[in-house]
Amino acid sequence: MKHTERIVIIGFGPVAASLIEGLLPGVSAGTIELSVISAEPELAYNRVLLAEVAVGAAAAEHLNMVDGQRLREAGVKLHLGVTATGVDRSRRRVHLAGAAPLAYDRLVFATGARPVIPSLNGLNFDPHAESALPAGVLALRTLQDAHDLQQILSRRGRVLVLGGGILGIEAALAMAQAGHQPVLVHHGPAPLGRVVDADGGRLLIGSLQAAGVEVVSGVKATGIHTAQGFTGLATDTHGIIAGDGLLISTGVRARTELAASCGLETNRGIRTNKYLAADTEHRVFALGDCAEVDGHPPVGLLAPGWAQASWLAGFLLNHRAPRPDGPSRPIPADLPAPVFDTSDVLMLKGQGLEVTAAGDTSGGLFDQDKQVVVYADPANGRYLRLVTRDAVPKGFVAMGLPRTAAELVLAYERGTALPKDASTLLRLDDPADQSPAVAPGPGDQLCRCSGATYGEVEHAVESGCTTVTEVGESCRAGTGCGGCKATIEQMLNKLPVPA
Amino acid sequence: MGSTATHCPYCALQCGISLQAQPASEHEPLALSGRDFETNGGALCRKGYSAARLLAHPERLQSPLLRQPDGSFAPIGWEQALDLVARQVRDTRTAHGADAVAVFGAGGLTNEKAYQLGKFARLALGTSRIDYNGRFCMSSAAAGANRAFGLDRGLPFPLADLDRAAMILMLGSNVADTMPPFVRHLEGARASGGLVVVDPRRSATAKLCDGSGWHLQPTPATDLQLLLGLCHVLLAESLVDADYLARRTTGLAQLRSSVAAWWPERTEAVTGVPASQIRRTARELAAAAQAARSGADPVYILTGRGVEQHENGTDTVTAAINLALLLGLPGTRAGGYGTITGQGNGQGGREHGQKCDQLPGYRKITDPEHRAHVARVWGVDPEVIPGPGVPATELLHTLGTDDGARMLLVHGSNPALSSPDASQVIAGLRRLDFLVVADFFLSETAAEAHLVLPVLQWAEEEGTMTNLEGRVLRRRAALQPPPQARDELWIFAELARRLDAPGTFSSDPREVFEELRRASAGGLADYSGIDWEDLDAGAAVYWPCPRGTRITGTRSGTPRLFLNRFAHPDGKARLTAVHATAQIHRPGRLSLVTGRLLEHYQSGTQTRRVEELAAAAPEARLEIHPATALAYGIAEGQRVQLDNERGRVIARAALSTDIRLDTVFLPFHFPGGNNANVLTETLVDPSSAMPEFKHTTVSLHPLEER
């Protein structure tokens, strides 16, 4: 007889969406009854594009990561706009605000992370609750936030972005590209201070300003001023920085309270073993931005969460839940755990400003234990700082070098060796023609299709051919793909032949 | 003597050729010249120009050859040869069952031979085990097009439609080397600055983008991810043709969610193509497509083997088609999607029943109505027709094993060289009780045979071919064949008679074509309205061409498919969500990609015997980036050993900055220790059974001696 297992997922972000996708075969086959609880009213969406939505460069519907109708038709029970208020692990129930509790056989926490709200006068900074922010102050984490930002921008408001991390920069760039006047406010000498060195930072500031982003560095913020909404940021260093909106982009913190309140261990996230299990019984799991897996704090990127989701779906499908009163079954020792993508590559999203950084770029040019390469061309907006050990990249910052950066990302992620001479990479971004400027000799092939050489064409011309067709009849040059006709014409006109 | 208007023996472009009955040189009994035909405009490449040099080549097989106890071959007569084959078939069948005899066909055979080979296998041999080398070429593109459009015709529009293109996105195709006269059809897009080539190498075709477009150079086997990224930009930035999608497609919601995860930066991190280039490409395609919808020049997306010959080839083709559909192109005058068919009759060869799961006219061998129709034409009980067989890689890799065939007949193909993990295939050929190979040269496969049957070359036979645009052409004889060479149609007829086969087997090409017309009637690839004499008169006829179609002086039949509806029952195209799996990269290994050279065609059985071509490209050279070569201590011209789990190849290095740092390239035309396919993977696409030809990993070792 077929036994149906009840699985409840708390949270409906991109990682939960991927887990649901992986569990669908079990749902369709009737072996899994899947319920999903989401505090937000929307289906899972892609937060990466929220800034584009706020500035009108992308429509909200395009963020959608799942087809809700398809999930419902498959039998997934979606509880949208419903908050989970508690978990009773002994009775195996999830309590919901304003709805009957949901019973589970296995439970998955995919509660994600919430923005860190800095301790500023005028802001509620309780780290363990959803913040009630004053009007005009927001963190770009939800579609509602994007909508709020859109409102401020539609009044042609000046928006301050607090925080020099990648998300803050991207939001500022998106606003600038849409014709707004964002102000990037951050402490430290330059944005991306954790990965970009001093010279790179200077160049980055210049590039941001050229892209229309005002940058205010070295700021120590102390509070906010409001008058029926945000009016300015109070600082110790720059007085009051006036603005019509404040976008807080100072990092995120795992949502662990619900897990902590039902007795699960939490630290930088809900603590799990390498199999994503948060309890000893292997009945409760956590993954994505809310989980500290096997001692690794969450990195805030999607790829690791997706890898975990894919693995967990396979595990849940193939390993049934422990029986209610039976002993917990150990996970087989030979079961491969999910492979963690620990990538820390940062890529700045936005046109005209191409910044990619990864790993540890510290170190001096003359350090013995690593090789440091620096290329700087600030006038052209180009900069590379590359740190390698045994030719393998350990960290880099690249600006204005799109192809170099793309190759470095691949080599960094795969751990493959780079060419001994780093300028090989830089040449990928050389706008000039790459073909060597050596004058062809008579024995060199002119026409690839026929194999005719410069000498043969020269002979044809000297023997009296006056048109490309005649040259073709004489030695077949130019009678294939036709790509060398221009060269033949030049030879007929006795022009010097370019390499 | 007059001249004979025919077509080149090599690729699917089927360039027009004129043959004059006057010896051009000692081994060249005919004078060959380019003929003004729409695909080539009179142009030919080196391969085409020199094709007549094979007609009287000294290595041409002159009589049936029987393997002797000492391993050598001895000439025998045809009666003896055919009796021997028939006896071997009967003995094998009696001992091991009908499926113990297998047939391997080719995309180079005429429509009539391809049709007759399928019929011969099913009726005379009674085997389900027939498949062909087109499985290694077009199967992923075919599966993708069938899934999206309900029908697979390589180019669903005339090739000349490309001439006016404002923009062409070409993925994994190097036409400047493989079919040079094709480049003439790219001139319009180049003049508009709209040629975009996707290739891990800066190939001859990619170089055409210099100043005329741009080249995207992804790391191998990430084409699917790149296409997902392009689709993502179109959807995220609302650049799609919403009206077209609503009217003519289904599946948008699922597609939308499936590409949401592939924003350009993530795509860059996997493919090595900068996010800015991904955005630019998507935006320019969208702008050009929008203009094309308002009457400006059209936009095309084309794929080739470079993106199709992968274990995710069908999904990659699907992603390319999804991109075209999002742009609102297929089935309109604003452009479209097409695949560039490779082999001479790669199109016709996949329509008429030499695929393990098909009957003529693209009919399904599992569909009772389809079986009944073909059985009626063949004059047999439908029960007589066997069920589906196994696809090429499985067929070849199980030869001589408990699961495989004991006897094999090979026509027009050289699987000992062209199959993935070729060493395994050679081992399989050697395990066979009896191997019969029909060819006009002693190919590497023929060299393994028990019996070799000499057959006709292109200029000695009559028939029809279907080119890359679905246009049906006449191949004509201009020359008497060598006295002991025979037409395969005659061989099938003689063997069928000896085997007491049901049905009839004509040895006359025109009679076989007439039967093919009836067999294909009502099928997807319907030839029933195509008249031999109209083809003789040079009519431009494109299938489907049902009976009663008026053949005119201009394009007839269906030059452009899908203008009113797609071939699915609801008339709509299917957007299918496809997913990319993570790349497993092996540290210390380089990616190996394989492909072709301008000078050679496929396994080189023909072109390696043309002195001019062999001199220009005598061996496989390993293309490697100078910086990579430096890291391995490899100099220009140095011999390099490539190893992986399947085998070893030794080739001389050719240093070039045209290739990626993480990738090396080998051409696959060469035999023995030079055979790139000794290294290729046997993984196959789950939908199409296409092998993973285009990506494997190898380790490199420079060899001391030069």
> What are the DSSP calls for A407-459, one per residue?
HHHHHHHHTPPPPSSTHHHHGGG--S--S---PPPTTSBS-TTT--BHHHHHH
| A405 occurs within a structural domain | yes
Residues A304 and A277 in one domain: yes
* A130 pLDDT above the threshold of 90: no
Residues A109 and A257 in one domain: yes
Among candidate residues A302, A318, A334, the one where a domain is terminated: A318
Residues A240 and A257 in one domain: no
What single-letter amino acid sits at A107? L
Whether residue A407 lies within 8 A of chain B, CB to CB, comes out as yes
Pair B451, B77: CB distance under 8 Å = no
| A330 occurs within a structural domain | no
pLDDT per position as a tens digit, B150-191 = 999 999 999 999 999 999 999 999 999 999 999 999 999 999
Whether B263 and A46 lie within 8 Å, measured CB to CB:
yes
Pair B289, B275: CB distance under 8 Å = no
Closest Cα in chain A, distance from residue B697 (Å): 13
DSSP secondary structure, A271-321, as one string = EE-TT-B-STTS-EEE-GGGEEETTBPP-S-HHHHHHHHHHHHHHHHHSPP
Percentage of residues in chain A having pLDDT higher than 70: 93
For residue A499, what pLDDT is reported?
A: 46
Whether residue A351 lies within 8 A of chain B, CB to CB, comes out as yes
Q: Are strands B573-574 and B249-250 parallel, antiparallel or unpaired?
A: parallel
Phi, psi angle pair for A436, to nearest 5°: -70, 140
Whether A449 and B180 lie within 8 Å, measured CB to CB:
yes
Residues A245 and A267 in one domain: no
Best of B238, B257, B610, B658 to substitute, by most chain A Cβ atoms within 10 angstroms, is B257
Supply the mean pLDDT for chain B. 95
* A1 pLDDT above the threshold of 70: no
For B258, which residue in chain A has the nearest alpha carbon? A65
Phi, psi angle pair for B487, to nearest 5°: -70, 140
* B641 pLDDT above the threshold of 70: yes
Residues A174 and A228 in one domain: yes
The CATH number linked to A397 is: 3.30.390.30
Residues A361 and A297 in one domain: no
Residues A242 and A266 in one domain: no
Supply the mean pLDDT for chain A. 88
* A319 pLDDT above the threshold of 90: no
| Most confident option among A149-163, A317-331, A342-356, B78-92 | B78-92
Separation between Cα atoms, residue B114 and residue B107, nearest integer Å? 8
SS3 assignment, position A475 = helix
Pair B557, B543: CB distance under 8 Å = yes
For residue B162, what pLDDT is reported?
A: 98
Non-local CB neighbours of B614 within 8 Å, separated by 6+ positions? B599, B607, B608
pLDDT per position as a tens digit, A36-88 = 999 999 888 888 888 889 998 888 877 888 888 889 999 999 999 999 999 99
Among candidate residues A276, A302, A318, the one where a domain is terminated: A318
Q: Please give the average per-residue pLDDT across A21-30, as a whole number.
A: 90
Cα–chain-centroid distance for residue A159? Answer: 23
Whether residue A306 lies within 8 A of chain B, CB to CB, comes out as yes
Closest Cα in chain A, distance from residue B232 (Å): 9
For B586, which residue in chain A has the nearest alpha carbon? A414
Residues A28 and A75 in one domain: yes
Percentage of residues in chain B having pLDDT higher than 70: 99
Q: From the list B176, B265, B625, which residue is nearest A481 (CB)? A: B176
Phi-psi region of B658 (alpha: psi -120 to 50; beta: other; left: phi over 0): alpha
* A336 pLDDT above the threshold of 80: no
Q: Can you give the length of chain A in residues?
A: 499
Q: A236-250, A297-311, B413-427, B483-497: which range is least confident on average?
A: A297-311
pLDDT per position as a tens digit, A451-487 = 888 898 999 998 889 998 899 888 888 888 888 888 8
Q: Pick the residue with more confidence: B109 or A494?
A: B109
Closest Cα in chain B, distance from residue A334 (Å): 20
For A56, which residue in chain B has the nearest alpha carbon? B237
Give chain B positions within 8 Å (CB) of A62.
235-236, 238, 256, 260
In order of B141, B314, B316, B425, the CA distances from B685 in angstroms are: 11, 7, 11, 19
Closest Cα in chain B, distance from residue A81 (Å): 20
pLDDT per position as a tens digit, B378-389 = 999 999 999 999
Residues A43 and A148 in one domain: no
Whether residue A303 lies within 8 A of chain B, CB to CB, comes out as yes
Residue given tokens 């297929």 in the structure block: B330
Closest CA to A312 of A108, A112, A111: A108
Cα–chain-centroid distance for residue B147? Answer: 19
Residues A420 and A486 in one domain: no
| A119 occurs within a structural domain | no
* A436 pLDDT above the threshold of 50: no
| A332 occurs within a structural domain | no
SS3 assignment, position B463 = strand
Best of A306, A418, A449 to substitute, by most chain B Cβ atoms within 10 angstroms, is A449
Q: A311-320, A323-332, B70-79, B527-536: which range is least confident on average?
A: A323-332
Separation between Cα atoms, residue A94 and residue A105, nearest integer Å? 11
Whether A49 and B236 lie within 8 Å, measured CB to CB:
yes
Separation between Cα atoms, residue B478 and residue B475, nearest integer Å? 10
Whether residue A392 lies within 8 A of chain B, CB to CB, comes out as no
Whether residue A396 lies within 8 A of chain B, CB to CB, comes out as no
Predicted TM-score (pTM) above 0.80: yes
Q: Which residues pair with A271 in a beta bridge?
A: A292
Q: Which residues pair with B336 in a beta bridge?
A: B300
Whether B616 and A434 lie within 8 Å, measured CB to CB:
no
**Element (DSSP H or E) covering residue B377:** helix B368-378
Q: Give the single-character DSSP code of B486.
A: B
Q: From the list B235, B238, B268, which residue is nearest A406 (CB)? A: B268
pLDDT per position as a tens digit, B252-269 = 988 988 898 898 998 998
Distance between start and end Cα atoms, chain B:
53
Domain ranges, residue A481:
454-493
Domain count, chain A: 4
* B5 pLDDT above the threshold of 80: yes
Whether residue A448 lies within 8 A of chain B, CB to CB, comes out as yes
What single-letter amino acid sits at A35? S
In order of B198, B430, B521, the CA distances from B273 in angstroms are: 10, 45, 47
What single-letter amino acid sits at A419? P
| A417 occurs within a structural domain | yes
Best of B186, B250, B661 to substitute, by most chain A Cβ atoms within 10 angstroms, is B661
SS3 assignment, position B73 = strand
Non-local CB neighbours of B334 within 8 Å, separated by 6+ positions? B289, B292, B293, B298, B299, B328
Separation between Cα atoms, residue B141 and residue B321, nearest integer Å? 10
What single-letter amino acid sits at B461? E
Q: A419-428, B6-15, B321-330: which range is least confident on average?
A: A419-428
pLDDT per position as a tens digit, A173-184 = 999 989 999 999
Query: Peptide bond preceding B544: is omega within 30 degrees of 0, i.e. cis?
Result: yes
Separation between Cα atoms, residue B328 and residue B308, nearest integer Å? 22
**Interhelix angle A468-475/A485-492, nearest 10 degrees:** 100
In order of A182, A196, A378, the CA distances from A188 in angstroms are: 19, 11, 21
Residue given tokens 């285009």 in the structure block: B694
* A496 pLDDT above the threshold of 70: no
Reported confidence tier of residue B24, pLDDT bands at 50, 70, 90: confident
Q: Pick the residue with more confidence: A256 or B587?
A: A256
Based on C-alpha coordinates, what's the Rg of chain B?
24
Whether A64 and B269 lie within 8 Å, measured CB to CB:
no
For residue A128, what pLDDT is reported?
A: 65
SS3 assignment, position A54 = helix
* A335 pLDDT above the threshold of 60: yes
Q: From the list B49, B177, B627, which residue is nearest A424 (CB)? A: B627
Give chain A positions within 8 Å (CB) of B182.
481
For residue A62, what pLDDT is reported?
A: 77
Among candidate residues A250, A265, A292, the one where a domain is terminated: A250
Reported confidence tier of residue B583, pLDDT bands at 50, 70, 90: low
Give chain A positions within 8 Å (CB) of B260.
14, 45-46, 62-65
CB pairs under 8 A between A and B: 155
Q: From the list B49, B181, B236, which residue is nearest A476 (CB)? A: B49
Residues A103 and A32 in one domain: yes
Tokens at B522, concatenated? 């009502």
Whether residue A419 lies within 8 A of chain B, CB to CB, comes out as yes
Q: Please give the average per-residue pLDDT across B298-326, as a whole number.
A: 97
Separation between Cα atoms, residue A255 and residue A270, nearest integer Å? 8
| A260 occurs within a structural domain | yes
Whether B44 and A480 lie within 8 Å, measured CB to CB:
yes
Residues A96 and A168 in one domain: no
Separation between Cα atoms, residue A408 and residue A373, nearest integer Å? 13
The CATH number linked to A259 is: 3.50.50.60
Reported confidence tier of residue A328, pLDDT bands at 50, 70, 90: low
Closest Cα in chain B, distance from residue A351 (Å): 7
For residue A351, what pLDDT is reported?
A: 59
How crowded is residue A432: how many other Cβ atoms within 10 Å of its Cβ?
A: 7
Q: Please give the average per-residue pLDDT across B481-499, as a whole number.
A: 98
| A397 occurs within a structural domain | yes
Give chain B positions within 8 Å (CB) of A60.
none
Question: Which ipTM score applies to this complex?
Answer: 0.81
Whether A413 and B279 lie within 8 Å, measured CB to CB:
no
For A348, which residue in chain B has the nearest alpha carbon? B265
| A444 occurs within a structural domain | no
Pair A150, A172: CB distance under 8 Å = no
Q: Is the dihedral of CA A442, A444, A448, A450 positive or negative?
A: positive
Closest Cα in chain A, distance from residue B44 (Å): 5
